[in-house]
């Protein structure tokens, strides 16, 4: 089993979107039993909350239901439990570095590094600025790259 967790700031916009998108790809590839998927936020503002209504609406528009997800905060134990800890931007990468045990540093990734053609490393934070449509597209690109990486290296 390969364990994957997507991490943003609030765990209500970008990372639950990534969780839903990636779960769809994994399901379509027939790999539900091989890849475990979760998401978390580096801050605790929205612990226990469902995804932001705008993130839910964008996912629904693309045929993906993420309404059941609930926010939780990332923690040091996540680096024991997960093989891939995927930071949505540099700020969250920094936050994760502070709680990552040194022996697990190789598990910490910038999510968009799995979509190098995009030419950027940060998924823009849509909470204040909007842009959920474009964020969803970026997340789809990187999720495809991530799945290809896992299939090549582990499955």
Which positions are annotated as active-site residues? 8, 14, 125
Burial class (CB in 10 A: 0-12, 13-18, 19+), 78: buried
Per rule CB under 6 A, is residue 112 in the interface with ligand 4NP?
no
- Cα(154)–Cα(93) distance, rounded to whole angstroms? 24
Give the one residue of 4, 5, 6, 8 binding ligand 4NP; rule: CB under 6 A: 8
Give the one residue of 4, 5, 13, 74 binding ligand 4NP; rule: CB under 6 A: 13
Strand order through the sheet with 35-41:
35-41, 2-8, 84-87, 108-110
Query: How many CB atoms sit inside 10 A of residue 91's CB?
Result: 14
Q: Which residue is nearest to ligand 4NP (CB)?
A: 10
Question: Within positions 37 to 66, which residues make up the interface with ligand 4NP, using CB under 6 A?
Answer: 41, 45
Binding site for ligand 4NP (CB under 6 A): 8-14, 41, 45, 125, 127
């Amino acid at each position: 089993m390969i364990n994957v967790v997507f991490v943003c700031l609030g765990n209500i916009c970008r990372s639950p979107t990534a969780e839903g998108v990636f779960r769809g790809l994994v399901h379509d590839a027939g790999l539900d039993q091989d890849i475990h998927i979760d998401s978390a936020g580096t801050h605790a503002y929205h612990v226990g909350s469902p995804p932001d209504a705008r993130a839910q609406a964008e996912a629904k528009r693309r045929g993906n239901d993420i309404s059941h997800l609930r926010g939780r905060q990332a923690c040091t134990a996540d680096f024991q439990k997960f093989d891939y800890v995927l930071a949505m931007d540099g700020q969250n990468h920094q936050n994760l570095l502070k709680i990552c045990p040194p022996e697990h540093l190789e598990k910490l990734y910038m999510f968009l590094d799995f979509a190098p053609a995009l030419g950027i490393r940060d998924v823009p934070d849509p909470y204040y600025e909007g842009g959920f449509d474009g964020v969803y597209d970026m997340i789809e690109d990187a999720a495809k790259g991530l799945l290809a990486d896992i299939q090549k290296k582990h499955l």
